[in-house]
């Protein structure tokens, strides 16, 4: 510990460089995680499971309502076209909006809205988009589900609270901060995804190009942050070392001759 205290007087005066190194290291970590996060939607597109807007809406429903859906691959829709108009619930978080509304695992959502018309059903993408759109003036949204109980299919109508940006303002700081961060991420992602076509071969090609460009941009920023971190870190070490050598030289030059007469023979 004594060595750290001795070197501190050479390092701490460079506090502005240390702050730059710290924030550069944080940026490297965040951008590195962002590179992996950007790969997920790319894989979704390449595996032909869902469009980018659909993936963003599904993630938004998971974060805001606390439930996730199973999205069938497009190849399976050719064998069973009915799946195009269904959303199967695969997970429901405890004490979430969906959990409090009465959703259960294996529930099949068949409609979103006050009235369900079986003659003109909504597609799974349309239902997810409607759930993910939380800008409605109403405080509740009606969701029609099919639930299997005792070997029988029962249709239920659930009333779900529409999530709001400031609904957790009175809760603890961590919960409020986590909710606000996720809310902003989904809002920005939905605005960006609105620029992409929804569902066709051209949309997939554009989505893949969009994501690849995003990965290149993130990787470029990460390389710049890494360079800044290493450069400023080396700068701190070299400046501290130079000042240490200057102090050592000055001390040696002003030491009494008697010191060298006594200890120079050892």
Full pLDDT tens readout for the chain, 266 residues: 677 777 888 888 888 999 999 999 999 988 888 777 777 666 666 555 567 777 788 888 888 999 988 876 666 655 666 667 788 889 999 888 998 998 988 888 888 888 877 778 888 888 888 888 887 677 888 889 988 877 777 888 898 888 888 888 888 888 888 888 888 888 888 887 776 655 555 666 666 777 788 888 888 999 999 999 999 999 999 999 998 898 888 888 888 877 777 776 65
Q: What is the pLDDT of residue 192?
A: 77
Identify whether 252 is part of a domain.
Answer: yes
> Do both 74 and 21 map to the same domain?
no
Q: What is the pLDDT of residue 129?
A: 84
How far is residue 220's CA from residue 216's CA, in Å, rounded to a whole number?
Answer: 6
Per DSSP, what are the bridge partners of residue 70? 88
Q: What is the pLDDT of residue 115?
A: 80
Q: What is the pLDDT of residue 45?
A: 60
> Do both 143 and 212 map to the same domain?
no
How far is residue 99's CA from residue 64's CA, in Å, rounded to a whole number?
Answer: 12
Q: What is the pLDDT of residue 223?
A: 92
> Do both 227 and 133 map to the same domain?
no
- Of 143, 165, 195, which marks where a domain is finished? 195
- Of 162, 195, 228, which marks where a domain is finished? 195
Q: What's the number of CA atoms in the CB half-sphere (13 Å) around residue 5?
A: 2
How far is residue 20's CA from residue 228's CA, in Å, rounded to a whole number?
Answer: 8
> Do both 238 and 191 map to the same domain?
no
Q: What is the pLDDT of residue 47?
A: 59
> Do both 18 and 82 map to the same domain?
no
> Do both 41 and 124 map to the same domain?
no
> Do both 145 and 57 map to the same domain?
yes
Identify whether 200 is part of a domain.
Answer: no
> Do both 108 and 64 map to the same domain?
yes
Q: How many domains does the chain have?
A: 2
> Do both 44 and 59 map to the same domain?
no
> Do both 58 and 166 map to the same domain?
yes
Strands, E, within 101-244: which ranges? 108-112, 140-149, 152-161
> Do both 188 and 75 map to the same domain?
yes
Identify whether 230 is part of a domain.
Answer: yes
How far is residue 42's CA from residue 209's CA, in Å, rounded to a whole number?
Answer: 9
- Of 171, 195, 219, which marks where a domain is finished? 195
Full domain range(s) for residue 265: 1-48+205-266
> Do both 5 and 36 map to the same domain?
yes
């Amino acid at each position: 510990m004594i060595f750290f205290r001795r070197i501190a007087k050479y390092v701490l005066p460079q506090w502005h460089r240390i702050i730059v190194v710290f924030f550069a290291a944080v940026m490297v970590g965040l951008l590195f995680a962002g590179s992996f996060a950007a790969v997920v939607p790319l894989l979704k597109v390449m595996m032909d499971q869902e469009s980018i807007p659909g993936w963003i809406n599904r993630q938004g429903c998971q974060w805001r309502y606390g439930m996730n859906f199973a999205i069938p691959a497009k190849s399976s829709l050719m064998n069973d076209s009915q799946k195009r108009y269904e959303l199967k619930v695969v997970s429901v978080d405890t004490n979430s909006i969906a959990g409090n509304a009465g959703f259960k695992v294996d529930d099949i959502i068949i409609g979103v809205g006050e009235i369900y018309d079986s003659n003109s059903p909504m597609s799974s993408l349309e239902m997810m988009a409607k759930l993910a759109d939380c800008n409605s003036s109403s405080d509740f949204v009606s969701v029609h589900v099919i639930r299997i109980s005792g070997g029988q299919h029962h249709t239920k109508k659930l009333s779900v609270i529409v999530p709001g940006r400031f609904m957790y303002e009175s809760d603890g700081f961590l919960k409020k901060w986590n909710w606000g961060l996720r809310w902003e991420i989904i809002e920005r992602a939905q605005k960006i995804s609105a620029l992409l076509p929804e569902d066709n071969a051209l949309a997939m090609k554009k989505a893949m190009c969009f994501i690849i460009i995003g990965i290149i941009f993130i990787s470029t920023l990460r390389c710049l942050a890494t360079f800044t971190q290493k450069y400023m870190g080396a700068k701190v070490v070299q400046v501290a070392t130079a000042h240490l050598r200057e102090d050592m030289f000055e001390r040696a030059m002003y030491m009494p001759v008697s010191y060298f007469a006594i200890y120079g023979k050892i």
